[in-house]
Amino acid sequence: MAAITVRSLTEGDAPYFAEEERKQGWHTADEKFLDRLRDARDGKCIALVAEIDGVPAGYVNVYPICDAGTPFAERGLPEIVDFAVLEKFRGRGVGSALMDEAERIAGEYADTVCLGVGLHAGYGSAQRMYVKRGYIPDGSGVWYRGRVCEPYSLCENGDDLILYLSKKLR
């Protein structure tokens, strides 16, 4: 069995993850990770990386307070943001290790944690994992570009179409 460790995101992770995600056909820029590093340095989030046998395999971020543009804003709840496991490492426990640590950290701030997940098939693995871990929809419907997507309105099934979920931690 491969050894999985979880550590803080470092500057060297930005180009590595961006390149690996581009190889998977994702449209990822180094700036996405550099922004998370900046937020971590500013105390806004805890940015984590999982390694499998010393090789970075996935990442997740915990924001102690949800930002605006979610149904959980203004409620003082921590939010799990931007969770991913590189495709070549999936099915080996990396995602579970990251989520275990993210939920542990979130539990230091509140008894409930929230997250948003995209609705297209690219998020299918994450959608299934969240349900298996006990996350439930918040009931506000789907959100599009930071706002509730009103019934029968037009939207694009891209990364900006999100369902928000929460989980009681204790």
Pair 96, 126: CB distance under 8 Å: no
Q: How would you label 157-169 residue by residue, b for 16+ Cβ within 10 Å and e otherwise?
A: eeeebbbbbbbeb
Residue spans per domain, the chain: 4-168
Model confidence at 1: pLDDT above 70: no
| Average pLDDT taken over every residue of the chain | 94
- What are the tens digits of pLDDT across the range 54-107? 999 999 999 999 877 888 888 889 999 999 999 999 999 999 999 999 999 999
Sign of torsion over alpha carbons 34, 146, 120, 85: positive
The CATH number, out of the four listed (3.40.50.720, 1.10.510.10, 2.130.10.10, 3.40.630.30), of the domain defined by the range 4-168: 3.40.630.30
Model confidence at 2: pLDDT above 80: no
- What are the tens digits of pLDDT across the range 28-67? 988 999 999 999 999 999 999 999 999 999 999 999 998 7
Output DSSP code: residue 155.
-
Identify the pLDDT of residue 107.
97
Global pTM reads: 0.93
Identify the pLDDT of residue 68.
79
Pair 82, 116: CB distance under 8 Å: no
